[in-house]
Structure 1
Amino acid sequence: MTLRPAILTWLALIAVPESGAAQSRNPAPAAVVTPLTADEPQSANPTVIDRRILVMLDMPSEHYRPGSDYGATGGYGDPAAAGARRRLAARIARDQGLTLGDAWPMPVLGIDCVIMTAPGDEPLAAVIERLSHLSGVAWSQPLNEFVARGDPEPANMRQPNDRLFAAQPAAQAWHLADLHRMATGAGIRVAVIDSLVDAHHPDLTGRIMVVRDFVGAPAAGAPETHGTAVAGIIAADADNGVGIAGIAPGAHLMALRACWQQTVSATVCDSLSLARALVFAVENGAQVINLSVTGPEDQLIARLIAAARRRGAAVVASVDPRTGAGFPASAAGVVRVSQEGLSRNEPGVYNAPGRDVPTTEPGGQWHLVSGNSYAAAHVSGLLALARQIGRTDRGLVSTRPDGGTVDACRTLLRAGAKGRGC
């Protein structure tokens, strides 16, 4: 990678508008579409998306037949049971004056998730309350909107030869080269639930084990900024002579597109796309799940996070920079993360590097980013390192018992890493 003159000094010292981001004079081949998410406060108040609602039909999970696709073909269990479920959904929609949409099985929760649209001006809260008390309905809820929490701000021993390694905040603050002598996250499955990742970026080639798109429309026409940046911080290839080194360069990424990029600085998701990605992550053994998004409380997402944790996954989420909390960070058992310097010492919030971070950008380039999304990505990478070492029950070491600045080296030593640390 050939960089513009003085690019390393520029990256280490300042952040500039995105148009000034680091670029390669020999860009990688044209990126192939591969899904993932985005960042920073995009709307002052997350909103309910149009008039659609989610209705959870309470169906026994033992009827689930792996490999079927209820949403696409109507199969989910035996044909008679699938037909009964379709008739139940149709009857509810007809009796309540709703329009019936698509449905997806979520066997991890023992439910079918059905989209229905409420016409007219009746408050959605009233419709949802009425549906939640019907026979056969586990619960109903809004189709909530979430936004990604990042701020694209194209702002002694041998170290890796990655050209931008010295500019990475974690290189010094977390002694990243020393961490990689203890672990690289080799073989750990990390789900990046975000916008579309550039799987053919030279720093991500070979790091992504699976790509799935759970958004549908709007379909991704090209890799997206936020997801690509988060993926690079977690698992960019190390010691390959270009770009950066990920916190866990040996990890296997699941690039799960649940969000879509509206503009370069605005990425959004909804309850259903996040839920479908979470179901995939849980059913395919994700050991770490990164959720760099915030939005309103959501019962479906909360239950899926609980299911992921019951199966042993660590779930990491960025906090809302306006409140220091937010959902899904507020869900039980979630590791909630804020950028260093932004936290107001909220209980339970961990602080990690998240300011002026060089990372991967679609099209085989690199740029600077800042925000809580990227701090969360650092912690997801660190937890992948700890999981490779093996003592996953010991958690993060930080400056306070209930949060504070993460001490990456001591975290790995407490997890059982051998050696002198950093």
Structure 2
Amino acid sequence: MKRAFLLLAATAALSACATAPPKAPSADPGRAALVGAASMDSQRDIVLAVANPIDPPAMHAGSSLLGYAPSKFYGAGQRAAATLEALKRSYGMREVTGWPIKALELYCVVLKPPPGMSREALLNALAGDNRVQLAQPLHDYSVYTSGPPAPQDNDPYTTLQRGFIETDAALAHRFSEGDGVRVAIVDTGVDAAHPDLQGRIHDMHNMVDGNAATFNRDGHGTEVAGVIAADGDNHRGIVGMAPKATLSIYKACWYPAAAQAGARCNTFTLAKALAAIIDTDARIVNLSLGGPADPLLDKLLVHILEDGRIVVAAMPPDGSVDGFPVDAPGVIAVRVSDVAAALPGVVSAPGNDILTTQPGGGYDFTSGSSMAAPHVSGIAALLLSLSPRLDAHAIHQLLLRSSKVSDGMLQVNAASAVEALRGKQQATR
């Protein structure tokens, strides 16, 4: 079965019409782009932040939906630079890389403890230093997938898309396809050359190593992107939950050299991605990944949520809600709908045997909460396209109230969510 899919997909890829390519992945300015995240040691390195105050940006014509007015890039101000140098001298730490977080008025660095000093001892010492705004371990994170195992009825594999069918997405597309909604995907990179993602990707950024090469081997992000926004009505492959939405890709995860190893991320790469999203008008953030609680990442999530954005996160395989990002209030946590009973407020969505896009123009099945979360992000895009002022709480409640039983399981339903929103809109007119 898998071989047939790949052969069919290869044929489709060869016959694909040429379209305007998305913008090339961009290398961030500053020292951070020069250091590969894969070389960092999550068992020993720390993340430290010092105050880096900036003047408030002037508002001007062209501000985004969320009121953001882009400003010039800034790095470490004189005060931050002096503080960091003094701290490094005081404690004998060695800097790996540094980057500014404008939204929090902080400058962050990844540091190595001095030889002979444990990370715990260094963090304890820094906790009592009033020059330090934040000091914490560099944490590791991973993606949640187990790997490969209607209006769009001209897309040949639509009938094999379990999630698309079970959520009645084709019915929802009569009223909304996600037009005008930007979804930020924080994940591995995405194969932008995939025929079913042509025209759907607005911009791409590499937070891992600054390499501007294409992401044509990054499987996990390509899978997530296909579930959310694979092109519809193009006579090839599949169709996404919100096929008219556009995607912003933030590569914060990478594949270790070990064979069959899953993608991993860390505090450094995720913080850079979340900080960059704050400077955009993306309304939805998909996080099909997770790991331990993290003070810096939590600060950034709070800022993103307070901006009125919707953050959708995959539940860990063990069902825990104690780590990043599912432990942040306001985040929409998503589990696979055919596992044990969910906790109150957790959204259920299809996540097993999900057919989606693969690098190299192919298609295959994959499973995990990493695939459940983008189904919810796609439905959120359908709703925002109809009602752009919806906030995370309203969408969360709408998803829960409109969930339906499908094949014996209660899970989100795109058609009933759209119908409920349209009914509410008509009742208020």
Shorter-chain TM-score range:
0.7 to 0.9
Structure 2: 5+ residue stretches without partners:
27-39, 58-69, 404-408
Match of 1:411 among 403, 409, 417: 417
**Residue identity opposite 1:144 in structure 2:** H
1:244 maps to what in 2?
238
The answer to which of 214-223 and 112-121 deviates more is: 214-223
State the partner residue of 2:291: 295
> Could you tell me how far 1:219 is from its partner in structure 2?
7.9
Shift of residue 330, structure 1, vs aligned partner? 1.3
- Deviation string 1:87-107 (CA, Å, 9 cap, x unpaired) is 210110110111123221111
Q: Does residue 1:126 correspond to 2:128, yes or no? A: no
Whole-angstrom CA distance in 2 between matches of 1:114 and 1:175: 47
Distance 1:363 1:34 in 2: 18
> Of 272, 276, 301, which residue of structure 1 is paired with 2:272?
276
Q: How does 1:189-204 map to 2 (within 5 A)?
A: 189-204=182-197
Output the TM-score relative to the length of structure 2: 0.81
Whether the 8 Å CA contact 1:90–1:100 is kept in 2: the answer is no
- Aligned in 2, Cα 1:222/1:110: closer, same or farther, shift over 3 Å? closer
* Whole-angstrom CA distance in 2 between matches of 1:373 and 1:255: 16
> Which is further off, 99-108 or 256-265?
256-265
Kindly state the Cα deviation for residue 327 of structure 1 after the two structures are TM-superposed.
2.1
- Runs (4 or more) in structure 1 with deviation over 6 Å come to 29-33, 217-221
Letter in 2 for 1:261: Y
What is the SS of the residue equivalent to 1:86?
A: helix
Code of the aligned partner of 1:134: D
Among 390, 393, 398, the alignment partner of 1:392 is: 390
Question: Structure 2 vs 1, CA of residues 416 and 136 (structure 1 numbering), >3 Å: closer, same or farther?
Answer: farther
Which of 35, 45, 49 is 1:52 aligned to? Answer: 45
Q: Report the counterpart of residue 178 of structure 1 in structure 2.
A: 171
Q: Residue type matched to 2:350 in 1?
A: P
2:333 is matched with 336
* Counterpart among 347, 353, 369 of residue 366 in structure 2: 369
Partner amino acid, structure 1, of 2:281: G
Match of 1:104 in 2: 99
Structure 1 CA distance, aligned partners of 2:53 and 2:164? Answer: 49
Q: Secondary structure at the match of 1:210?
A: strand
Contact 1:21 1:366 in 2 (8 A): no
User: Once the two structures are aligned, what percentage of the paired residues are identical?
Assistant: 32
Distance 1:161 1:257, change over 3 A: same
Does residue 306 (structure 1) correspond to residue 302 (structure 2)? The answer is yes
Structure-1 residue corresponding to 2:67 = none
Distance in 2 separating the partners of 1:194 and 1:118: 29
8 Å CA contact retained: 2:208, 2:254: yes
Aligned partners of 1:67 and 1:228: how far apart in 2? 31
Structure with the higher fraction of residues in strand conformation = 1
| Contact in 1 for aligned 2:12/2:236 (Cα 8 Å) | no
Residue in 2 aligned with 1:40? none
Secondary structure of the corresponding residue to residue 151 of structure 1 = coil
1:114 to 109, 114, 120: 109
Q: Identify the range of structure 1 (382-391 vs 341-350) with the bigger mean alpha-carbon deviation.
A: 341-350
Task: Give the gaps of 5 or more residues in structure 1.
Answer: 8-19, 36-46, 71-75, 77-81
Q: Over aligned residue pairs, what C-alpha RMSD do you find?
A: 2.9
Give the whole-Å Cα distance in 2 for the aligned partners of 1:303 and 1:182.
36
Q: In 2, distance between residues paired with 1:318 and 1:22?
A: 31
Counterparts of 1:316 and 1:136 in 2: how far apart (Å)?
Answer: 35
Out of 275, 278, 285, the residue aligned to residue 281 of structure 2 is 285
Q: Secondary structure at the match of 2:222?
A: helix
Are the structure 2 counterparts of residues 372 and 117 from structure 1 closer, same or farther at C-alpha, using a change threshold of 3 Å?
same
Deviating more after overlay: 356-365 vs 157-166: 157-166
Inter-CA distance 26–181: structure 2 relative to 1 (3 Å threshold): closer
Calculate the TM-score normalised by the size of structure 1: 0.82
What letter is aligned with 1:268?
R
Match of 2:66 in 1: none
Checking the alignment, whether the CA contact within 8 Å between 1:48 and 1:144 is kept in structure 2 is no
Count of aligned pairs? 380
Q: Pairwise mapping of residues 252-263 of structure 1 onto structure 2 (< 5 A)?
A: 252-262=246-256, 263=259
User: SS where residue 326 of structure 2 aligns?
Assistant: coil
In 1, Cα distance between the equivalents of 2:90 and 2:159? 63
Distance, in Å, in 1 between the alignment partners of 2:331 and 2:410 is 15
